[in-house]
Structure 1
Amino acid sequence: MGPLVKRGLSLLELLVVLAVLGILGALAYTNYSAAYRLRAAGTELRTFLLAARTEAIRRGTGVAVVPEDRGLLSCVDENRNRACDPGEAPLRRFDPGGYGAALDLRSGFSPGLRFNALGRPNTGASLVLRLGGRSLTLCVGMGGRVREVSGDACS
């Protein structure tokens, strides 16, 4: 009889392969999780903006969307100053911190934007969500349409 041929993997080789697969899986999950959270935050932000626009049309009056300490606030803007003052009814809040994201609102006028009774904003605006090294930009056009663009600028 010839020499005994050994086939298969040793326990050590199997453990090394499993460790490498575990590390690759953890990296893929982290990347996927951040992309998923950013996409979910973008969907909620789009819903928030469309709800503010719809509420302005439904009520026949202006609705302001202004930065708040943790995100955005929409309210009925009775005195037309594009701000949510005491006594004006708050409608909804958007907090990107729940997703671990940061928000940057850029509009033509400070402090935020205002949808009129026809659902049109006083100015175009871009809202940039950032999470890790990723970003998602929503643009509000002069007709009130909210769209997603690549990059950080609305054109």
Structure 2
Amino acid sequence: MIALKGRAANEQLFDLVLSPLRWQVLNIGLELEIFDALKSEPDAARLALSLKLNQVALTLMLDAMCNQGFVEKENGLYRLSSLFEPYIISNSQRSMRSMLLHLAKVKHASEEDVINMLRTGESKHLASQFSTADFWQKSIDNLRSFHLSMSVTTMSELILNLPEWSRV
């Protein structure tokens, strides 16, 4: 683990425990297409009906999404955060949805799979499928997604650093 300067070891250890929980909140929103549905339905009760989810549980999840900053809540109605919206809804040109879901499958392995690999040397984890054409096709698609989602930020930084920019 790369130690973060200025952060105590106990803070870093605590953060390791919370990081998977933060990812799960985002992952659930992406997998169940809650973010896409929220774009047109701000009411938790109607959203739960349309997604065939438990209203109480969905409301708790939406509140967790608010805590993460993905969603905002006002007067009992929810809406996507303008900061995250272009990246988490599937029909956006800068959507990172597919890429994030794919990367999570590649980068995240269950404890059981890691223990099994350590004991037997074998793994059923997606990363062990590097030799399949489907794996590489998804990787190429996700690389395109990455560049589309990051291009605005990167290009803005490049343009702002041009000496000519101060005269525009």
Aligning the two structures, in what range does the TM-score lie when normalised by the shorter sequence? under 0.3
> For the pair shown, which has the larger CA radius of gyration, 1 or 2?
1
- Structure 2 length as normaliser, TM-score? 0.24
Higher relative contact order (CA closer than 8 Å, sequence separation 6+): 1
Q: Point out the structure with the larger helix share.
A: 2
- Structure 1 length as normaliser, TM-score? 0.26
